[in-house]
Amino acid sequence: MQHAIVTGGQWGDEGKGKIIDILSGRFDVVVRYQGGNNAGHTVVINGRKFFLHLIPSGIFHPEKICVIGNGVVLDPFSFLEEVKGLKESRIAVSPKNLCISDRAHLVMPYHKAIDQAAETLKAGKKIGTTGRGIGPAYTSKVMRSGIRAADLLSESLLVDKIKENLAYFNYLLKGYFKANVLNVDDVIEDILSVREEILPYIVNSAYLLERFRNEGKSILFEGAQASLLDIDHGTYPFVTSSSVVAGGVGPGTGFSPAHIKSVIGVFKAYLTRVGSGPFPTEQTNGIGEALRQTGSEYGTTTGRPRRCGWFDMVAARYAQIINGYTGIALTKLDVLSQFEEIPVCTGYQYKGEIIHEFPAELEVLENLKPMYTFLPGWKAPISGVDRFDMLPREAQDYVRFIEEQIRCQVLIVSTGPDRNQTVMMPGMS
Ligand code: GDP
Ligand code: IMO
Ligand code: MG
């Protein structure tokens, strides 16, 4: 198998965890390249449910190597908690099958404090972040004052950097946000208490990936969040703070894009969003509620109810442009079984004009009118169907419609949360 990238094509929670777990069987190495523990990926294996936030979704294949790339922002406490949880579930996790890039930036307690204080201050204009300190951690990185995993190697250097950072962040917390400051000794003590446990995981990951490549190993790059949450291409400012799109793999891992030929986009058969921001096809009615209940649309990380709506083809085609998908995984098709007909948004109307390009301006995104094409529903349960020809004709047509409209082949169709509730299309075998 050639190296490949998987990214979310919508606003997150498309089922990337499930798809990456399945695909991991075909690769040797799985690498996260951006985001942090704002991600929440659910993997269901023979009815057992696992939740991942930082650790790549390849971890359930004990013979594979998982790497947390330099583009990830790593909360050391959350990382160790996740390792502990997996070990308690008898999943093999150790520095033998899991590594952290020495260049990955750390999410520190003051980043979380600022994230939460900033949201509180915004009152009615909240972004609705996960409160995990992601934006502030990337801010530190870009301000060139961040603390990297490599800094854990020297205790004295680490302590100096924490003191320097905290002087700045406490000033902000107290002076600007009118929030509680953090005690520098507590922060230092907490970090030093986990330092030794993290150290064995740290590697120079660009060299490691280059070695794997030279050995002929295949690498799967796992995107968290999704294209419409990308810092550059998403619905700014209602986005996350990293480069989510496929191109983020280069800066996020040091692996050259010249070596990668496949990019798989994961799309839910409808659409959800957590947090604030524009969502043209949102259904704030009984339909949205029906999708939420049937699809169990509650956040894996924060437990918040997800906003639900119809598939947005204008947004999907945009995701195709900014990622260059060579294949699609379409998930949660089973959730649509209840509907007589299924609307798909195929254009927008704004001030009397029809637009087919995904706009940058919030004002437009918030006030446009979606134009729908109505596809017939199938009104029959399809949970667990694992062959395309066993799907009702209308369900097959729905998949084909999405394929034609995005102009990209569907490689995987998911009909339930479990590993085996999956249709592998001919292009995948
Ligand atoms: P991720 O963040 O993209 O990995 O997605 P999440 O795990 O946050 O959310 C997807 C949810 O849908 C999880 O609860 C999955 O177990 C579940 N899921 C994934 N694929 C399917 C599917 O085809 N059908 C149904 N009903 N649930 C699915
Ligand atoms: P996975 O990988 C869905 C959203 C938050 C908020 C915005 C910014 O599970 O698909 P942040 O904490 O990143 O600063 O929040 O981004 N968000 C996600 N929404 N799935 C995710 O990850 C998300 N990660 C962040 O809800 O709107
Ligand atoms: Mg999720």
Residue 220: strand pairing partners:
4, 30
Name the one residue in this structure whose structure tokens are 């998987």.
6
Mutational pocket test of ligand 1: of 24, 32, 38, 42, the residue with most ligand atoms within 8 Å of the beta carbon = 42
Question: Which ligand is in closest contact with the Cα of 38?
Answer: 2
| 299 Rama class: left (phi>0) / alpha (psi -120 to 50) / beta | beta
List, in order, residues 6 or more apart from 78 with CB less than 8 Å away.
37, 53, 54, 107, 132
Nearest residue by C-alpha to atom 16 in ligand 1: 417
Which residues have CB under 8 Å from 148's CB, separation 6+?
Answer: 102, 103, 104, 105, 106
Determine contact, residues 366/337, Cβ cutoff 8 Å: no
Ligand 2 cavity residues, CB under 6 Å:
8, 12-13, 38-41, 127-130, 132, 134-135, 224-226, 229, 238, 240-241, 274-275, 300
Which atom number of ligand 1 is nearest to the Cα of residue 20? 4
Ligand nearest to the CA of 128: 2
Q: What is the 3-state secondary structure (H, E, C) of 227-286?
A: HHHCCCCCCCCCCCCCCCCHHHHHHHHCCCHHHCCEEEEEEECCEEECCCCCCCCECCCH
User: In this structure, what are the phi and psi dihedrals at residue 291, rounded to the nearest 5 degrees?
Assistant: -65, -40
**Pocket of ligand 1 contains residue 335 by CB under 6 Å:** yes
Ligand 2 mean position, distance from CA 3 (Å): 26
Q: Which domains does the chain have, with CATH numbers?
A: 3-103+202-262 (3.40.440.10), 105-198 (1.10.300.10), 267-428 (3.90.170.10)
Whole-number pLDDT of residue 361: 97
User: Which amino acid, 299?
Assistant: G
Nearest residue to 270 (alpha-carbon basis) of 257, 283, 259, 258: 283
Q: Which residues have CB under 8 Å from 404's CB, separation 6+?
A: none
C-alpha 334/C-alpha 359 separation (Å) is 31
User: What residues sit around ligand 3, an ion, with C-beta below 5 angstroms?
Assistant: 13, 40, 300
Residue 408 backbone dihedrals phi, psi, to 5 degrees:
-155, 140
Given the DSSP bridges, would you call strands 73-74 and 105-106 parallel, antiparallel or unpaired?
A: parallel
d(CA 37, ligand 2 centre) in Å: 9
Cβ(329) – ligand 1 distance below 6 Å: no
User: Between the CA of residue 380 and those of 101, 340, 415, what are the distances in Å?
Assistant: 47, 10, 12
Distance 15 CA to ligand 3 centre (A): 7
Rounded distance, CA 316 to CA 314, Å?
A: 5
pLDDT at 302: 82
Per the CB < 8 A criterion, the answer to whether 310 and 271 are in contact is yes
How many A from CA of 416 to the centre of ligand 1?
A: 8
pLDDT digit string (tens) for the chain, length 429 residues: 699 999 999 999 999 999 999 999 999 999 999 999 999 999 999 999 999 999 999 999 999 999 999 999 999 999 999 999 999 999 999 999 999 999 999 999 999 999 999 999 998 889 999 999 999 999 999 999 999 999 999 999 999 999 999 999 999 999 999 999 999 999 999 999 999 999 999 999 999 999 999 999 999 999 999 999 999 999 999 999 999 999 999 999 999 999 999 999 999 999 999 999 999 999 999 999 999 999 999 988 788 899 999 999 999 999 999 999 999 999 999 999 999 999 999 999 999 999 999 999 999 999 999 999 999 999 999 999 999 999 999 999 999 999 999 999 999 999 999 999 999 999 886
Q: Who's near 358: CB < 8 A, 6+ residues apart? A: 314, 315, 317, 318
Amino acid at 181: V
What strand order describes the sheet that includes 219-222? 202-203, 98-101, 65-68, 29-32, 219-222, 4-8, 262-268, 327-331, 410-414, 422-424
Among 78, 70, 55, 72, smallest CA distance to 190 is for 78
d(CA 39, CA 315): 21
User: 176 alpha carbon to ligand 3 midpoint, in Å?
Assistant: 32
420 backbone dihedrals φ, ψ, rounded to 5°: -85, 0
Residue 292 makes CB contacts below 8 A (sequence gap 6+) with: 298, 305, 306, 308
Among 37, 225, 235, name the best residue to mutate to test ligand 2's pocket (greatest count of ligand atoms within 8 A of Cβ): 225
**Would you say the CB of residue 8 lies under 6 angstroms from ligand 1?**
yes
Residue ID of nearest Cα to ligand 1 atom 25:
416
Q: Looking at residue 1, what is its pLDDT?
A: 66
Residue 343's pLDDT is: 98
C-alpha to C-alpha distances, 87 to 50, 98, 203, 345, 419, nearest whole angstrom: 12, 13, 21, 44, 21
Distance 420 CA to ligand 1 centre (A): 13
Rounded CA-CA distance 23/429 in Å is 12
Q: Is any ligand 1 atom within 6 A of the Cβ of residue 296?
A: yes
Q: What pLDDT, on the 0 to 100 scale, is given for residue 205?
A: 96
Predicted local distance difference test score (pLDDT) of residue 303: 87
- Gap between the Cα atoms of 147 and 141, Å rounded: 8
The closest of 213, 253, 230 to 70, measured between CA atoms, is: 253
Measured CA to CA, the distance from residue 240 to residue 228 in angstroms comes to 9
For residues 223-238, one letter each, b for 16 or more C-beta atoms within 10 angstroms of the residue's C-beta and e for the rest, the string is bbbbbbbbbebbbeeb
Q: Which helix (H) or strand (E) holds 186?
A: helix 184-198
Q: What is the pTM of this model?
A: 0.98
Any ligand 1 atom below 6 A from CB of 53: no
Q: Which residues are catalytic?
A: 13, 41
The DSSP secondary-structure symbol of 359 reads: P
